[in-house]
Structure 1
Amino acid sequence: MGFHNLKTNLEDGIYSIVIDREEKANALNAQTMQDIEGAFQEVYDNPEIKGVLITGAGNKAFVAGADIKEISEINYMTGRKFAESGQEIFAKIENCPKPVIAAINGYALGGGCELALACHIRVASENAQIGLPEVSLGLIPGYGGTQRLPQLIGKGKAFEMIMTGDPVGAKEAQSLGLVNHVVEQAELIKKAETILRRIIARAPLAVSMVIDCVNASQTTDDGYQTEANSFGNCCKSEDFVEGTKAFLNKRKPVFQGK
């Protein structure tokens, strides 16, 4: 599938998505959002894709925000639709049954921060700056940032970041739990791929259910029931039989995702 503003590549089960608007600091315009939605539909539909790595072109910006020219032209009605559409696309990422890692290679601001928040794991380069500066434009985050940021770093610090609009550097982001790892720029993609390879070597159905259960802890009244149901479903899978047999026979399991 071809995209206007993305470069994609599938190798050894890892689907790499590069937001390719380097001249615009990889800002999220309407076409790019449409491309991201299409790329994740491919992730859902293609069984050869086992995990996703998403990053930005160049070494200065992951995504430096939304396209301000487009935003300046919206009103109340179109603004609501703008936010709802973005929320729907990013929910597709958050609920993706395959692991998604954001490799944050510089500025991740506004919609770029929200994109990273929707991913399951975040790895940042040392030059990363992460924040939600929408209040400086008379706006608030609209793609889920007010909901996901407090889940990761707590209500108080989320209030401070969103209401001041001030970004945090990579090391502070790591100390807050906003990113999992901080590495040198040259090691960023390698680190993200290493984590993905470790995950996709595990049982795919179990990994998918982990995503469901962790998300349920924030979105349902009884995440424990989701966990119990998912545990039961794992127990009737072929992967469970293979995993336990492999352990008892002291060999590596060969999972089929069944």
Structure 2
Amino acid sequence: MSELVITRQRDSYFEIILNRPDKRNAINLEMLHAFDAAVAQANRAPGLRAVLISGAGESFSAGIDVSALLGLAQTYGPHWQQRMRAITDEFQGVFTRLERLELPTIALLHGHCLGLALELALACDLRVAAAGTALGLPETLLGIIPDVGGTTRLTRLVGPARSKELIFTGRRIDAADAERWGMVNYVTTREELSGKGEALAAEIAQAAPLAVGMAKRVIDGLADIDRGLLLEGWAQSQLFASEDFLEGAQAFMTRRPPQFKGK
């Protein structure tokens, strides 16, 4: 297992820790693949009743490492923009496998939980945030949309109006507003964050595991996630070929306001 992701089993729960603290746990392709392997490891481990996901250092995660976006040509070849549907499928598959674990999953958020990191958290069953945590989906400020389940899962969780507000503006909200909107289940202090997650896991462990797993499948089955992911992939394949995306990415890297033209 890559040291970019740390795993350990403690009693009846399994911990997955994002471990790139010097980069605020920004997610590059290597970390994404290591996270996918950690989810598979949790799925195979015996005797588990819950999975806790957290981040080392000062943030849960600042989201995707933007240099990874700009390096897509190196990973997927010079015609990567024509392969965006397949690339999006690969990213989506990681969080879909997380979501489809029969084990309950609890994301423990602190510091920053932005973009791809929030999409990861939305693929979990429960979310606990430390007070002051910044949450958001800033993709439209780069000329793209949240395409790794963020648009679909946020809408399922908080409804169309709140999802449109957060995604259209790219705004960050704090943990208190996220709790009020229904994005997180609890807000606690940074010091009590792990303890609250463990207490939730212990409470879940008192219920029958087969019943919990089936309840999760039924609840998740009420929303057409697969169709939403397909729509996200279709939209993103158009946006990555736009001039606005190139402008947004360049503006982000040079720390200047983007000048979007709708092209």
Of 181, 184, 203 in structure 2, the residue corresponding to residue 179 of structure 1 is 184
Of 45, 63, 66 in structure 1, the residue corresponding to residue 64 of structure 2 is 66
User: What TM-score comes out, normalization by structure 2 length?
Assistant: 0.80
Cα distance in 2 between the residues matched to 1:194 and 1:78: 44
Cα distance in 1 between the residues matched to 2:224 and 2:216: 12
The answer for the alignment partner of 2:222 in structure 1 is: 217
Q: Which amino acid aligns with 1:12?
A: D
Runs of 5+ unmatched residues, structure 1: 221-258
Identity in percent: 34
Cα distance in 1 between the residues matched to 2:95 and 2:159: 20
The answer for the alignment partner of 2:135 in structure 1 is: 130
Runs of 5+ unmatched residues, structure 2: 73-79, 226-263
Aligned length: 218
Q: Is the 8 A contact 2:49 2:204 kept in 1?
A: no
Equivalent position SS for 1:47: coil
Residue 51, structure 1, aligned to residue 50, structure 2? yes
Q: Which amino acid aligns with 1:5?
A: L
1:66-105 equivalent positions in 2, closer than 5 A: 66-74=64-72, 75-105=80-110
Equivalent position SS for 2:192: helix
Equivalent position SS for 2:141: helix
Structure 1 range deviating more: 181-190 or 28-37? 28-37
Q: Is the 8 A contact 1:129 1:168 kept in 2?
A: yes
* Offset, 1:78: 4.2
Q: Is the 8 A contact 1:4 1:31 kept in 2?
A: no
1:201-240 equivalent positions in 2, closer than 5 A: 201-219=206-224
Q: Is the 8 A contact 2:107 2:124 kept in 1?
A: yes
1:6-17 equivalent positions in 2, closer than 5 A: 6-17=5-16
* Offset, 1:216: 0.7
Distance 1:70 1:79, change over 3 A: farther
* Offset, 1:137: 1.4
Structure number with higher relative contact order (C-alpha < 8 Å, ≥ 6 residues apart): 2
Residue 192, structure 1, aligned to residue 192, structure 2? no
Equivalent position SS for 1:186: coil
Report Cα offsets for 1:208-252 as digits up to 9, x if no partner: 0011000011138xxxxxxxxxxxxxxxxxxxxxxxxxxxxxxxx
Cα distance in 2 between the residues matched to 1:78 and 1:53: 33
**What is the root-mean-square deviation of aligned Cα atoms in Å?**
1.3
Equivalent position SS for 2:132: coil
The answer for the alignment partner of 1:21 in structure 2 is: 20
Bigger Cα Rg: 1
Cα distance in 1 between the residues matched to 2:27 and 2:86: 16
* Offset, 1:167: 1.2
